[in-house]
Amino acid sequence: MKVLVVGNGGREHAIAKKLLESTRIKQVFCVPGNGGTATTQGCQNLSLNIDDFQGIERFVMVNNIGLVIVGPELPLSLGIADYFQQKRLMIFGPTKAGAQIESSKSWAKELMLQAGIPTPKAAVFTDAEAAKAYVLEQGIPIVIKADGLASGKGVTVATTVKMAHSAINTIFRGEFGTDNIRVVVEEFLTGQEVSILALTDGITVEPLLPAQDHKAIGEGDKGANTGGMGAYAPAPIVTPELMERIQEEILEPTLAALQKRKIDYRGVLYAGLMITPDGEPKVLEFNCRFGDPETQAVLSLLETPLEDLVLACCQQRLGESSIRWKSGASVCVVLASGGYPGSYQKGKVITGIEEAEAQGAEVFHAGTQLKQQQLVSDGGRVLGVTATGETLEQAISKAYAAVDCIQFEGVYCRRDIGRRALGDKN
Ligand code: AMP
Ligand code: GLY
């Protein structure tokens, strides 16, 4: 079978490489892909835009591609799955209606409240002054969220009233879109965050291994939020008992609430949870897709062929599948361009990837590009160096030994990925 993967991140490179482990997958095409998917054997990039549904469809038809897997949220929120389903083509990812769980925080909040899913208390406003008055009433710290897709930049954890008011002003100035502006003002929670990526065929929902992302740019979770500076799996804070609660109190009721709204959701339901100090799992957000960099860590441990699970979701037979895992742990360390998540330079020559892989790690590309046969940086998050080990400690040592082989001007990474799970304070 031939598969087409939509996206150009580390997540998509990891998906493509995982698919190619199976002898049944003959070729993977990536739209538009990156320097990694360009150089992976069996993989080929297509220079099409991710929102060019017609162009992608034409390629799929002409080349007899059996399955399309969508990485990022944008094409899902624009209705790529609806488009392909109407043409009776196999696509993994929810429809536009289902993608609202990520594309509208107020929609997701309402769904959670109606279904009784544990989530921090919140109020939704269409008016800046009312939102500001609510902030004064509730006090700080408080969390201000733009309603729509904001590439991870729409959330402010405000520690002063001034900060909260300024975040509200920014949203109502139209920074994250000018249509139907809404803001979600949410109770601030403390605790540990975990990412639960679950597969669903619209009937059953099966969690993958729990993972933990490291969103802040700096060690010890200091500094600005990024797309994710590293991840590890499984996250030991999610004990089997806690996973059972997450399944019963969050994943199953969310799927039931989607069904009640007549939404046929087939794809990844990603719950971003806060585990509060008293051990309660609460939903901070849902995403309608695989997480990045969690996917790089989680898929490294997946034993069941990925295409079996994805096809089972598309064909509504996930209930017949079992998900098998390798033993041990996995960690993904992101190498970023100096200056990220602020401004940074591109086009820096990258060396040492072969040496890194000789250490037993796998290097997934994110913001890279092949330019005149040379690999250069092409984004904020450049590479995801991923290693597995019998223990998390072994996986971490292996990953950082590989990290140290890679060079490009200005390269930055956090040195503490995964350490919290070992009991280190950060
Ligand atoms: P979100 O996109 O909603 O997951 O928010 C991005 C990040 O902001 C999360 O990963 C958390 O680190 C933080 N955050 C969001 N909501 C809350 C909350 N209610 N309490 C504390 N931190 C939050
Ligand atoms: N790692 C966070 C995300 O994928 O949204």
Distance between CA 369 and CA 349 in Å, rounded? 10
Mean of pLDDT values over 261-266:
98
Q: Is the peptide bond between 253 and the residue preceding it cis, with omega within 30 degrees of 0? A: no
Mean of pLDDT values over 159-185:
95
- The chain-wide mean pLDDT, for the chain, equals 97
| Type of residue found at 399 | A
Confidence of residue 425 (pLDDT cuts 50, 70, 90): low
**Residue 155 pLDDT:** 93
- Closest residue to atom 3 of ligand 2, CA basis: 291
CA distance readout (Å), 335 to 44, 276, 323, 413? 24, 30, 30, 5
Q: Does some domain include residue 36?
A: yes
Three-state SS for 398? helix
Going from the Cα of 272 to the center of ligand 2, the distance in angstroms, rounded, reads 8
pLDDT at 172 over 60: yes
Please measure the distance between the N-terminal and C-terminal CA atoms of the chain and give it in whole angstroms. 45
Q: Does some domain include residue 210?
A: yes
**Residue 153 pLDDT:** 83
Q: Does some domain include residue 298?
A: yes
Q: Are residues 226 and 338 in the same domain?
A: no
* Residue tagged 């919290």 (tokens): 420
pLDDT at 365 over 70: yes
421 Cβ contact partners less than 8 Å away, ≥ 6 residues apart:
212, 232, 235, 236, 237, 392
Q: What is the pLDDT of residues 376-415, one digit of tens each?
A: 999 999 999 999 999 999 999 999 999 999 999 999 999 9
Going from the Cα of 117 to the center of ligand 2, the distance in angstroms, rounded, reads 21
Q: Does some domain include residue 110?
A: no
Q: Are residues 86 and 24 in the same domain?
A: yes
Going from the Cα of 153 to the center of ligand 2, the distance in angstroms, rounded, reads 12
pLDDT at 424 over 80: no
CATH number at 176 reads 3.30.1490.20
Q: What is the pLDDT of residues 53-90, one digit of tens each?
A: 999 999 999 999 999 999 999 999 999 999 999 999 99
Strands 67-70 and 91-92: parallel
Q: Which atom of ligand 1 is nearest to the CA of 154?
A: 2
**% of the chain residues with pLDDT over 70:** 99
| Type of residue found at 356 | A
Residue 10 near residue 293 (C-beta atoms within 8 A): yes
Q: Where are the beta strands (DSSP E) in 111-229?
A: 122-125, 142-146, 155-158, 183-187, 192-200, 205-207, 212-213, 216-218, 222-225
Domain boundary among 169, 187, 205: 187
pTM above threshold 0.85? yes
| Type of residue found at 211 | A
Domain count, the chain: 4
Give the gyration radius of the chain's Cα atoms: 21
Confidence of residue 152 (pLDDT cuts 50, 70, 90): confident
Which ligand has an atom closest to residue 72 CA?
Answer: 2
Q: Are residues 212 and 252 in the same domain?
A: yes
In order, the DSSP letters of 254-311 are HHHHHHHTT----EEEEEEEEE-TTS-EEEEEEESS--TTHHHHHHTTB-S-HHHHHH
The DSSP symbol for 154 reads S
* Tally of CA atoms within 13 A in the half-sphere of 196 that contains its CB: 30
Q: Is 185 in the pocket of ligand 1 (CB under 6 A)?
A: no
Q: Are residues 177 and 87 in the same domain?
A: no
**Out of 149-153, 216-220, 328-332, which region has the weakest mean confidence (pLDDT)?**
149-153
Domain boundary among 297, 320, 343: 320
Q: Are residues 242 and 132 in the same domain?
A: no
Q: Are residues 207 and 296 in the same domain?
A: yes
Q: Are residues 335 and 239 in the same domain?
A: no
Q: Are residues 7 and 55 in the same domain?
A: yes
**Residue 151 pLDDT:** 82
Going from the Cα of 310 to the center of ligand 1, the distance in angstroms, rounded, reads 29
**Residue 213 pLDDT:** 97
Domain boundary among 96, 111, 133: 96
Mean of pLDDT values over 170-180:
92
Q: What is the pLDDT of residues 107-131, one digit of tens each?
A: 999 999 999 999 999 999 999 999 9
Domain span holding position 373:
329-422
* Residue tagged 């995964």 (tokens): 418
Q: Is 102 in the pocket of ligand 2 (CB under 6 A)?
A: no
Long-range contacts of 396-403 (CB under 8 A, 24+ apart): 396/232, 396/331, 396/422, 398/359, 398/360, 398/361, 399/331, 399/332, 399/333, 399/361, 400/333, 401/359, 401/361, 402/356, 402/357, 402/359, 402/360, 402/361, 402/363, 403/333, 403/335, 403/356
Strands 2-7 and 67-70: parallel
Q: Does some domain include residue 158?
A: yes
Q: Are residues 235 and 314 in the same domain?
A: yes
